Every structure is written in structure tokens, then in C-alpha cells.
Amino acid sequence: MNAATTLTRERAAPRRRDAEATRAAILASAKDHFARSGYDRAALRDIAADAGADVALIKRYFGGKEGLFTEALKAMFHSDRMRDWNAATFPREIATLMADDVDVGDERTQGFQFLLRAATSPTTAPMLGLAVQERFLAPIRDWLGGEDADARARVLAAAYIGFLVERLIRGEPLAGRERTVFIDRAAAIFETLVGAPASAEM
């Protein structure tokens, strides 16, 4: 390797890092705007401005608004996290989370708002359906395993989303006896969904 090649690589590395940082900033801004405004109302110029980037870079890095939304949608599902779920502690951890306050800066809350808006838009609902199947339900099914894993994964996802809606509407943490009873009952529901099912009756 000659000196010229080394110098060229040294100069290229910062540009590559800058491009990756800019792309990540645009993606983070897009997730926020799509969660707050939905696909149709989110403006690319606003997304780019909040990311500190030129709007033309959205087309360069993502191909346009639809490509940006698709990447943001994929980023909302962290299927790798599900591998670390502990079936023994998951029910009470989720129940406790649902009894707590809504943190608008929390990634899960942002993700839920993003998905809720995507589900109500005719433009994005088909993309959401595919992403939910591939990146949400399938990993839950694989994590649950056992008999009727597909149906159990769907029920678990529905219960989880339902609790998220209740927490979002409530807007404040539960306290006292209500909190204790809520956590105990919610944990029992999730324990039933996570545990191995009894033989199904036809």
C-alpha cells in the first residue's frame, strides 16, 4: 500500500462517518415526525431541518418519503431484544411498566404512537401489516414456541397493545392499592399468554 492510497483512505473515513451520522439523524427525526404527525402530514423539509441536513439527502439516502418511512418502520421493531426476554420475569416486568407513567421520550411510547398513526393511514397500513408480521409477530412466535405459537403470539401482541392504549389514555402512574391489584392482575394475564397452553378444545 503506497502513501497516496493510505491518505485517500484516511480522507474517506471521516466522510463515511459523517454520512452515517447524517443518515442516522435523518432517521431519528423521521421516527419522531411520523409518530407525531403521521405519514401524510409529516413534511420532508421539517424532518431534514430537525436533523440539521439538506432535504436532498433524504432522496440520496432513502430514495424519498416512502423509503424513509419504510426504514423508520423497520427501526421501530427491535426483534433482537425479544431473544433476551425472560419468560419467568416478563409478565411482572410488563405489568409494572404498564402501571407506570407514560414517558413521551420513551422509545416504546414513540414506537406505539408511530404504529398507531401508520395503522390509520391508507397509505401506510399495508406496509405496517407486512412489517408487523415479519418483525413483530414472527419473533414473538419464535420466542414463545410450543403449540399454537402463531395464535398465542397474536393474542400476546393484542394484549400488549391494549395495555399500551390504556396507559396512554390514563396519562399518569397508578398508585396505592389500585397499582398493586393492577400489576397482579396484568401479570397473571401475561403469565397465561406466555406459558405453555393447555390442550386446545376443538
pLDDT per residue over 25-57, tens digit each?
Answer: 999 999 999 988 888 999 999 999 999 999 999
Q: Which of 35, 52, 73 is the last residue of a domain?
A: 73
Lowest mean pLDDT among 20-29, 62-71, 115-124, 179-188: 115-124
Instruction: For helices 176-194 and 90-99, give the axis angle rounded to 10 degrees.
Output: 140
DSSP state of 107: H
Query: Of 96, 120, 119, which Cα lies nearest the Cα of 136?
Result: 119
Q: Does residue 199 form part of some domain?
A: no
Q: What is the pLDDT of residue 200?
A: 41
122 with 145, same domain?
yes
pLDDT per residue over 134-175, tens digit each?
Answer: 778 888 888 888 889 999 999 998 998 889 888 878 889 999
Q: What is the CATH number of the domain that holds 51?
A: 1.10.10.60
Q: Does residue 201 form part of some domain?
A: no
Q: Which of 43, 73, 103 is the last residue of a domain?
A: 73
pLDDT above 90: percentage of residues in the chain: 39
Pair 170, 99: CB distance under 8 Å: no
Task: Show the domain range for 48.
Answer: 3-73
How many domains does the chain divide into?
2
